[in-house]
Chain A
Amino acid sequence: MTDTISPFVGGIVGTPRLRKEDPALLTGESRFIDDLQLPGALWIALVRSPYAHARIGAIDASAALAVDGVVAVYTGADLEGDWAGPLPCAWPVTDDMKNPAHLPLAVGKANFAGDGVAVVVATSRYAAADGVEGVVVDYEPLEAVVDVRDAASDRLVIHEDCGTNVAYDWELTPDPDGVAAAFENAVHHVTETYVHQRLIPAPMETRGVAVVPAPHNGDMTLYSSTQIPHVLKVMAALTLGVPEQKLRVVAPSVGGGFGCKLNVYAEELVCMTLANRHGVPVRWTETRTEAATATIQGRAQRQTIELAADADGKLTGVRATLLADMGAYLQLVAPGVPLLGAFLYHGLYDVPVYSFTCRSVFTNLTPTDAYRGAGRPEATYAIERAMDALAVAVGVGQDEIRSRNFIPTEKFPYDSPAGLIFDSGNYQPTLDRAKELMDWDGRRAEQAERRAAGSTMHLGLGISSYVEMCGLAPSRTLAALNYGAGGWESATVRILPTCKVQVVTGATPHGQGHETSWSMIVADQLGVDPDDVEVLHSDTAISPLGMDTYGSRSLSVGGTALWMATEKVIHKARAIAAHMLEANADDLDFAGGTFTVKGSPDKEVPLAAVAFGAFTAHDLPDGMEPNLEAQVTWDPGNFVFPFGTHIAVVEVDEETGAVELIDYAAVDDCGNQINPMIVEGQLHGGIVQGVAQALWEEAIYDADGQLRSANLADYLVPSAAECIDMKLDHTVTPSPTNPMGVKGVGEAGTIASTPAVMNAVVDALRPMGITDVRMPASPMTVRRAIEAAGGSS
């Protein structure tokens, strides 16, 4: 494969452009679920288990039913017959994976604090909330399993019918003998254990659902604040047994997801079944507390990584083992999250042999699932932290250890030891440029000066070089991983009679700016103004085919489908233009929205005339269908592999333990860029989200499985005040996987930044003998580490 250079010549792609989505968002014109006006709608509120683990005894709803406005109360047992199946898990990673029945409302036993046990239906949101207070549930509290190692011991089995807390074991060791030999012969053998705390995704808009039934013809519209209206339609049809052709799913404006809205949730199905039962619209808006307890959480892994290396620090083998916390049940793609990292624990380093094993267990905590990066941040964290440990063992700098191990550029496409083919890469320039942006040597000198002067304000420098696999995904690869769906994406391009353009995409945006980027792609190809391109999405009645947005897939998969559909339309327009110009189609040039005959520049016809001609159909070539429209479904041949290097500088206050991020440089390569402004925006947000894992965010549970950080005063999502200016730059190594040469960038920042910051924290403290700090590096945690190491009082 050779590098693809950019196919874009229209001058629009590659230039920063303000997002066309923003005026409506900034003025409040955009309509989110809670803004929908649905006269006569009933509201629901869920009665949720306050216990992490409890048998559900008698449920007395009489006081609730006496509340003014309460219409009905249903228990899990009342609705059990409404489900054709349990909530879906679409990724049974092994054939013998344990998947306990997960009903929208629990029956018999509640398995995490927040598990729904009953639902109150009322005429207003307030009455429904009052009703919840009136439902008396007779719980028999049981001991809760909150720790993954405790869970793995099966001391206490949560789902009796599974007989174990282990959901599955999964291994990827292509060459076991080679791995054993590598570690036997290793000069340096580094073993590190890291813990990824649970994270709460916390999008600005919590979830919400509204279901509008048409009781007489059987139609049903499900409005949901979801990333996946298309997937949801299929899953909801299966789970409720409703005819799919009668179902329409709409995601209105969606205020962020970060993976937590890539799911099928109890409330969606409960609203649907109650809309059926009551024959009127039924709706629900999630509270922030529910968003913390009843929406999936992320990360929650314990990892051990071992590196084998020769005397020069050149890696000879990597072995990773994982203990992953699935929470109380298996959500939609949860079992596959560790697998999305499984191939990347050797990072962007050239390693001959590789081994990965994962055990995933149930606990009595909120279910986990995909959260920005899903598996790749965890993998990157492990290898990047361990590379620093190796650098120390070998006695070389953190930059040098990486340079010695980067996959050489000439090895691309690279056959990875885990069995992937890395499409393209050129890693060293990102490290060089990041060091330059950061003034690496200057910072190191400053660090040394402070140390020499006995300062208690320590500087720490941390590098994180990363590669990730995104653009989910080749359908056949997903099949090999036992995933229950494909990874294609669909797009339609339609040139209207007035030469305005409609684009229909199956990639469902929820903040990424698809409307802007998609318009730019099509406008560049067609030679029209991006403002003349309208992008339609997120409604299965308008966009019936789609696999939605997650895994940094929209551009490299959905965008490619769009690019191809536009090429198809141009192909047809060219034939019509040739007919109009009485020329051969092959003899036409198309640029700036005009077809010209090669060699006779005065013979030309604008696209507008072709579009109108295609509409009137008065004079089309024989046998040609009227109108200019094309649909393409594209199934990628490979993942795409963006990469880069980030460098963080922190200042650690030895006396208080406070860590402050004071400088940040990032050099990323996502191939060709469509809108550099959106790329920067994704990086800014992504980096902050990863820094948040390092420094602030943690779902804190006590020994009883109670969440102690269930609101935004206790769960520390950073605000703009915590953000610093970042020094961003990029290199461009086009992907040969798709014709636009693009790679995803939605998760890259999050993947790279967490280990950069933690490496910096440890770098600051290493002279004290500290080699690891648990995340998040809160002041008390850091101070405790300093005290344990005998630091100042």
Chain B
Amino acid sequence: MIPAAVDYVRADSAEAAIAALVEHGDEAKLLAGGQSLVPLMRLRLATPTVLVDVGRATDLVGISVEGDTVSIGALTTHSTLEHSAELAAACPLLAHVASLVGDPAVRHRGTLGGSLAHADPASDLPAAVLALGGTLVVAGPGGTREVAATDFFTGFLESVLAVDEVLTEVRVPVSTGGWSYQKFNRRAQDWAIVGVVVAEGGAGVSLVNMASTPIRATAVEAALAGGASATDAAASAADGTEPPTDNQADGPYREHLARVLTARALTAAGI
């Protein structure tokens, strides 16, 4: 498909991006890797009139580990996460999840910040950050704020980000406890029909594509905390979910998958 006409500005730092967003208001959209935004524009489902390209904002790129916190710049690509030795040591779950996003071309362009900001319940990384209990750093004209991942997603493709705000950094705790990501899809490049993330020995369990946002499987977490076995805990994986229906799956099948995959994820995580 052919996108509608759009103006293009480059913002090579977070500060410049915020200024551009303030200037152009809600006509503008940040362009990071473009792997979600550009397809929507081509289908004319998104029609921003100004693109603010932060692709060269180097202050938003990088992975650093300090103490028990991993800080990742929002513009860091999936591919960088996938191949980072530092991340593999500090938070192997996140590196593994990144390696399962789309295909290599998507992973070389798509960014962690873009994936979170896009807030697609079918995406892998948002659920991972959620299970890890991550924190998102958001900068706007009024300064910087920190938002817990659990508070970040507000609806289908919606988050707490204001139109003039930029997600600058994602922080997750160093986490080497038992983990697993069970991504169920039909082709390697596809989004998950259902996905289950288990982080830090079961302290965090989250679900992909089981509601209008990525969600924590709170019933599973509570059951585990209460000493339930993996099998028993997994039985409650679909509690409180509102799975969508699409070509691949209807609600009841997704609920079934959530239970099966949760059991597998807990087992794989050594629980």
With A719-B187, A719-B189: A129-B257 Cβ-Cβ less than 8 Å? no
Contact A287 B1 (CB under 8 A): yes
Those of A270-301 within 8 Å (CB) of chain B: 287-289
Stretch at the interface among A670-678, A680-688, A762-770, A777-785: A777-785
Question: Which of A289, A711, A721, A783 has a CB less than 8 Å from the CB of B188?
Answer: A721
Those of A103-159 within 8 Å (CB) of chain B: 125-126, 129-130, 133
A658 at the interface (CB under 8 A from B): yes
B260 at the interface (CB under 8 A from A): yes
Distance in Å from the Cβ of B267 to the closest Cβ of chain A? Answer: 12
Contact A130 B4 (CB under 8 A): yes
Contact A780 B188 (CB under 8 A): no
Closest to A715 in B: B247
Q: Which residues of A contact B190 (CB under 8 A)?
A: 713, 716
Distance in Å from the Cβ of B9 to the closest Cβ of chain A? Answer: 19
Task: Sort chain B's interface into a size bin.
Answer: 20 to 34
Q: Which residues of B contact A713 (CB under 8 A)?
A: 190-191
A408 at the interface (CB under 8 A from B): no
With A719-B187, A719-B189, A721-B103: A709-B4 Cβ-Cβ less than 8 Å? no
B162 at the interface (CB under 8 A from A): no
With A126-B5, A780-B248, A780-B253: A658-B260 Cβ-Cβ less than 8 Å? no
With A713-B190, A783-B256: A658-B5 Cβ-Cβ less than 8 Å? no
Those of A429-485 within 8 Å (CB) of chain B: none
Contact B247 A700 (CB under 8 A): yes
One digit per residue, 1 when the CB lies within 8 angstroms of any chain A CB and 0 when it does not, for chain B 1-20 equals: 11011000000000000000
A413 at the interface (CB under 8 A from B): no
Those of A749-793 within 8 Å (CB) of chain B: 778-780, 783-784, 793
Complex: A288 Cα to B1 Cα, angstroms: 7
Complex: A129 Cα to B250 Cα, angstroms: 35
Complex: A718 Cα to B1 Cα, angstroms: 22
Complex: A223 Cα to B261 Cα, angstroms: 52
Contact A722 B249 (CB under 8 A): no
Q: Which residues of A contact B90 (CB under 8 A)?
A: none
Complex: A700 Cα to B245 Cα, angstroms: 14
Question: Which of B1, B2, B186, B193 has a CB less than 8 Å from the CB of A696?
Answer: B186
Q: Which residues of B contact A780 (CB under 8 A)?
A: 248-250, 253
Complex: A133 Cα to B2 Cα, angstroms: 11
Complex: A709 Cα to B246 Cα, angstroms: 10
Question: Which of A130, A656, A714 has a CB less than 8 Å from the CB of B5?
Answer: A130
Complex: A657 Cα to B213 Cα, angstroms: 25
Q: Which residues of A contact B249 (CB under 8 A)?
A: 779-780
Q: Which residues of A contact B256 (CB under 8 A)?
A: 783, 793
Complex: A576 Cα to B188 Cα, angstroms: 62
Complex: A655 Cα to B5 Cα, angstroms: 48
With A126-B2, A130-B4, A656-B260: A719-B253 Cβ-Cβ less than 8 Å? no
Q: Which residues of A contact B2 (CB under 8 A)?
A: 45, 125-126, 129, 287
Contact B257 A718 (CB under 8 A): no
Complex: A125 Cα to B193 Cα, angstroms: 36
Those of B228-261 within 8 Å (CB) of chain A: 247-250, 253, 256-257, 260-261
Complex: A352 Cα to B173 Cα, angstroms: 74
A571 at the interface (CB under 8 A from B): no
Question: Which of A125, A656, A709 has a CB less than 8 Å from the CB of B184?
Answer: A656
Q: Which residues of A contact B189 (CB under 8 A)?
A: 719, 721
Complex: A391 Cα to B260 Cα, angstroms: 35
Complex: A780 Cα to B103 Cα, angstroms: 24
One digit per residue, 1 when the CB lies within 8 angstroms of any chain B CB and 0 when it does not, for chain A 712-729 equals: 011010110110000000
A603 at the interface (CB under 8 A from B): no
Question: Which of B187, B248, B250 has a CB less than 8 Å from the CB of A718?
Answer: B187
Contact A709 B188 (CB under 8 A): no
Complex: A129 Cα to B1 Cα, angstroms: 9
One digit per residue, 1 when the CB lies within 8 angstroms of any chain A CB and 0 when it does not, for chain B 174-189 equals: 0000000000101111
Complex: A435 Cα to B138 Cα, angstroms: 61
Complex: A125 Cα to B247 Cα, angstroms: 32
Q: Which residues of A contact B184 (CB under 8 A)?
A: 656, 658, 779
With A287-B1, A655-B260: A779-B186 Cβ-Cβ less than 8 Å? yes
Question: Which of B1, B4, B187, B260 has a CB less than 8 Å from the CB of A716?
Answer: B187
A246 at the interface (CB under 8 A from B): no
A411 at the interface (CB under 8 A from B): no
Contact A709 B247 (CB under 8 A): yes
A708 at the interface (CB under 8 A from B): yes
Task: Sort chain A's interface into a size bin.
Answer: 20 to 34
Tally the A-B contacts, defined by beta carbons under 8 Å: 59
Contact B247 A714 (CB under 8 A): yes
Contact A778 B248 (CB under 8 A): yes
Question: Which of B186, B247, B257 has a CB less than 8 Å from the CB of A708?
Answer: B247
Contact A722 B188 (CB under 8 A): yes
Distance in Å from the Cβ of B251 to the closest Cβ of chain A? Answer: 11
Distance in Å from the Cβ of B247 to the closest Cβ of chain A? Answer: 5
Those of B1-50 within 8 Å (CB) of chain A: 1-2, 4-5, 43-44
One digit per residue, 1 when the CB lies within 8 angstroms of any chain A CB and 0 when it does not, for chain B 62-96 equals: 00000000000000000000000000000000000
Complex: A696 Cα to B189 Cα, angstroms: 13
One digit per residue, 1 when the CB lies within 8 angstroms of any chain B CB and 0 when it does not, for chain A 594-608 equals: 000000000000000
Contact A696 B247 (CB under 8 A): no
Complex: A645 Cα to B4 Cα, angstroms: 51
Distance in Å from the Cβ of A733 to the closest Cβ of chain B? Answer: 37
Distance in Å from the Cβ of A393 to the closest Cβ of chain B? Answer: 33
One digit per residue, 1 when the CB lies within 8 angstroms of any chain B CB and 0 when it does not, for chain A 373-407 equals: 00000000000000000000000000000000000
Contact A716 B253 (CB under 8 A): no
Complex: A778 Cα to B190 Cα, angstroms: 14
Q: Which residues of B contact A289 (CB under 8 A)?
A: 1, 43
Q: Which residues of A contact B103 (CB under 8 A)?
A: 719, 721
Q: Which residues of B contact A658 (CB under 8 A)?
A: 184
Q: Which of B44, B191, B256 has the most CB of A within 10 A?
A: B256
Complex: A784 Cα to B193 Cα, angstroms: 16
Distance in Å from the Cβ of B229 to the closest Cβ of chain A? Answer: 17
Closest to A712 in B: B189
One digit per residue, 1 when the CB lies within 8 angstroms of any chain B CB and 0 when it does not, for chain A 651-695 equals: 000011010000000000000000000000000000000000001
Distance in Å from the Cβ of B83 to the closest Cβ of chain A? Answer: 18
Q: Which residues of B contact A45 (CB under 8 A)?
A: 2
Distance in Å from the Cβ of B7 to the closest Cβ of chain A? Answer: 14
One digit per residue, 1 when the CB lies within 8 angstroms of any chain B CB and 0 when it does not, for chain A 32-66 equals: 00000000000001000000000000000000000
Complex: A310 Cα to B91 Cα, angstroms: 66
Contact A656 B257 (CB under 8 A): yes
Complex: A525 Cα to B124 Cα, angstroms: 59
Complex: A695 Cα to B248 Cα, angstroms: 12
Complex: A695 Cα to B187 Cα, angstroms: 10
Contact B253 A778 (CB under 8 A): no
Distance in Å from the Cβ of B166 to the closest Cβ of chain A? Answer: 28
One digit per residue, 1 when the CB lies within 8 angstroms of any chain B CB and 0 when it does not, for chain A 625-666 equals: 000000000000000000000000000000110100000000
Distance in Å from the Cβ of B260 to the closest Cβ of chain A? Answer: 5
Closest to A128 in B: B2
Complex: A683 Cα to B130 Cα, angstroms: 45
Complex: A156 Cα to B58 Cα, angstroms: 62
Q: Which residues of A contact B193 (CB under 8 A)?
A: 779
Q: Which residues of A contact B43 (CB under 8 A)?
A: 289, 711
Q: Which 9 A-B pairs have the closest CB atoms?
A: A721-B188, A129-B2, A655-B260, A780-B253, A287-B1, A780-B249, A700-B247, A722-B187, A716-B187
Given contacts A287-B1, A719-B103, A783-B253, could you give 11 more A-B pairs where the C-beta distance is less than 8 Å? Answer: A656-B184, A658-B184, A700-B247, A708-B247, A711-B43, A719-B189, A721-B188, A722-B188, A778-B186, A779-B248, A793-B256
What are some 26 contacts across the A-B interface (CB < 8 A)? Answer: A129-B1, A130-B4, A130-B5, A133-B44, A287-B1, A655-B260, A656-B257, A656-B260, A656-B261, A658-B184, A696-B186, A700-B247, A713-B190, A713-B191, A714-B247, A716-B190, A719-B187, A719-B189, A721-B187, A779-B186, A779-B193, A780-B248, A780-B249, A780-B253, A784-B253, A793-B256
